[in-house]
Structure 1
């Protein structure tokens, strides 16, 4: 059985001269002279996006620290039901939204400007991957039962690299590509999992990458907790949404309604296929190594650590971190709904969202600090206390740092490197 410490769910951002996947920046909302109303709308939009990131960060911290099940009933806890798998989906989705901002917003960059953008994303991917590889050896354990969290940072490098060819694709085509990866990613994983080399550690470090590059690559792309190919579903859908008018109330309401609808449809489809159409019996028949309780565990808690491939019916479940088509659709719908809700709340309650939005503006820093705190393993005896301590300190630090210095510490470093890269590619040409 997986547990509350088995499946983390972060994703992070840093800033450059325009909004990017790792930090806040002035809103790219309107042409010069559009007036204070448009500027205010853009500020609210960025507040809503950062608040959604802050919500995902809190969800991830809760999954890593708080119990996944009630010790008396053994039923999933409320925080597990709400956040398991969905926090990672929301982070990856919002990374796509921010990639859209950094590549031109509703009008993608072209020519030299797009080359500069792609170079900046490449540098960002390498820096975040390097940070993840540096942190991973500090995280104790190698198996699902031992580790306190699976670090998403190394996966993020793969996300960004794979997204580079899609930066100039239209929003409609991006949605189509997201649907394509939602199907082909899980199918490829199902077909190839038993033949692919297995990574020795769920949190590979640089030594693992060098010692067994084939296993590490398979782990990052298809067989890991956050496999890049299936996760392109979230990233490309977020990139498409970032090309829309996110400051408009119709778009915001549309995200909320369509997101909730997609999540409900995915959940209902899985329920029908598994419990009404004979899918559960097929799982039991074709997977004799698993008892009924063990199959239930996979559906509720996720794979331990990988989904069986004994029958195609496994692709009909929608449990956390199963990365099946329906699980991806459920995660995407939840992410769209969360973003729509945060954008709508920011229209009226932007000030009240400050703790969330401040944390969401520096998730690279806070997520890295969270992983280092988990590596001390002091949170197991008093999980609720340590959850409150970590979230409270994160909120206070984020608010104080943002008011005093702006970008978070790690966001500032990554953003500076990206900015220098863009300038080098642009040369004497002005950025649009």
Structure 2
């Protein structure tokens, strides 16, 4: 009969090799940072010469760190780029990732239905798992090159696409992938960088020191460009516009469904009466003809100067959630620094970081819990800003995660993606 594992031993085992506890600690910091962006009060922008503004680092950067760590996790889950020997194993790995992506997307979609106003990252996180599929077994050099291209060229290309899209008529899918708080080019590039990072020897002091140096240089370049030529706009703080009229990446799905129902009812009414809606206003109708809206579309494009300004902004804007090239370089470098420093520090004092590492091993559970708490306290469309609440959430998260890990094991919501991934792969 198998002997039960002592709770303390279970906790210690959660940070033992082959697991990288520094990665879990970095993930916990990303979660705490996103929670702070949603519920804590503080400065909205960072000034390097004013330490009192440093709490504003929680805007945007934790989400970038979260995406980088997603890439690291994908790399570790798929054997760090080592392609399985058999075709069936390749297929099984891909199906596992698809199952995990779907599970994360569904959890995020349910959280969005609460209507808290938080820009829930989990739906987009699920999308990132899908777009990672073609690169799972790509060469490390390929990952880095594609990531850099996405970060440098992607924002400008996105600015052109947004310029060409019909104004006020953007579908929820396009809004999720191309617009709003989590612009795809930046986060896709960061994800691929994370996948490349996960293939490195992250126990090597030399490698980690090199990552810190690269991160410092990238941050200096990105934020310097943003400071000199970027905009002075206030960064978004993790809350979305409730009317969703700004191309947010978090579409109001209930409003979309309601609109579709009204359109179907209107069409059904027209079919029953034998006349389209135009007849109800006394206008003549015809079954034939073409109503061109190209003139209206071209009028709405704006001037070429607006396009040039948008492209320039997409390059030099380093503000959180701006999706600019400067943000990709600056925040990407910042994320590299955090990951490398966490791994350097934690690998030398594992037992002291067990509580934080265990919390970082339950990102879905902790993230979901804080959204539910905001919903319970603020209600639909409500906002909750309270520093005591923030610290209560952090302490409560650490306490819950360690208690659950000690007596039960894997986090409650972390079981769902694993289960669905295994089912998708037929395991």
Please give the range of the TM-score, normalised by the shorter of the 2 chains.
0.7 to 0.9
C-alpha deviation, 1:76, in angstroms? 10
Judge which range, 302-311 or 239-248, deviates more.
Answer: 302-311
C-alpha deviation, 1:88, in angstroms? 0.3
Query: Aligned-pair RMSD on alpha carbons?
Result: 3.0
- Provide the secondary structure at the position in 2 that maps to 1:100: helix
- Provide the secondary structure at the position in 2 that maps to 1:193: helix
How far apart are the structure 2 equivalents of 1:239 and 1:96? 4
C-alpha deviation, 1:109, in angstroms? 3.0
Q: Does 1:233 align with 2:189?
A: yes
Larger radius of gyration: 2
Out of 142, 154, 159, the position equivalent to 1:185 is 154
TM norm structure 1: 0.73
Q: Is the 8 A contact 2:144 2:193 kept in 1?
A: yes
Q: Does 1:134 align with 2:110?
A: yes
User: Paired residue for 1:343?
Assistant: 343
Aligned CA distance change for structure 1 residues 156 and 197 (closer, same or farther; 3 Å): farther
Q: Does 1:375 align with 2:375?
A: yes
User: Paired residue for 1:296?
Assistant: 232
Q: Does 1:154 align with 2:123?
A: yes
How far apart are the structure 2 equivalents of 1:403 and 1:96? 27
How far apart are the structure 2 equivalents of 1:381 and 1:232? 30
How far apart are the structure 2 equivalents of 1:320 and 1:253? 26
- Provide the secondary structure at the position in 1 that maps to 2:201: coil
C-alpha deviation, 1:195, in angstroms? 3.7
User: Paired residue for 1:169?
Assistant: 138
Q: Is the 8 A contact 1:222 1:230 kept in 2?
A: no
User: Paired residue for 1:91?
Assistant: 66
How far apart are the structure 2 equivalents of 1:76 and 1:376? 34
C-alpha deviation, 1:423, in angstroms? 4.1
Q: Does 1:414 align with 2:417?
A: yes
User: Paired residue for 2:312?
Assistant: 313
How far apart are the structure 2 equivalents of 1:340 and 1:183? 23
1:330-409 correspondence runs (5 A): 330-378=330-378, 383-409=386-412
How far apart are the structure 1 equivalents of 2:247 and 2:53? 24
Q: Does 1:59 align with 2:62?
A: no
Q: Deviations over 1:401-424 (max 9, x none)?
A: 111111100111221221233344
C-alpha deviation, 1:77, in angstroms? 6.2
Aligned CA distance change for structure 1 residues 189 and 381 (closer, same or farther; 3 Å): closer
User: Paired residue for 2:24?
Assistant: 50
TM norm structure 2: 0.73
User: Paired residue for 2:283?
Assistant: none
User: Paired residue for 2:269?
Assistant: none
Q: Is the 8 A contact 1:56 1:88 kept in 2?
A: yes
Structure with the larger RCO, 1 or 2 (CA within 8 Å, 6+ apart): 2
Q: Does 1:104 align with 2:73?
A: no
Aligned CA distance change for structure 1 residues 112 and 340 (closer, same or farther; 3 Å): same
Q: Is the 8 A contact 1:158 1:228 kept in 2?
A: no
How far apart are the structure 2 equivalents of 1:323 and 1:76? 25
C-alpha deviation, 1:354, in angstroms? 1.9
Q: Is the 8 A contact 1:89 1:331 kept in 2?
A: yes
Q: Does 1:324 align with 2:338?
A: no
- Provide the secondary structure at the position in 1 that maps to 2:181: coil
How far apart are the structure 1 equivalents of 2:237 and 2:369? 26
Q: Deviations over 1:50-100 (max 9, x none)?
A: 000000011111111112438xxxx99635432211100000000000100
C-alpha deviation, 1:112, in angstroms? 2.2
Q: Is the 8 A contact 1:106 1:244 kept in 2?
A: no
C-alpha deviation, 1:256, in angstroms? 1.8
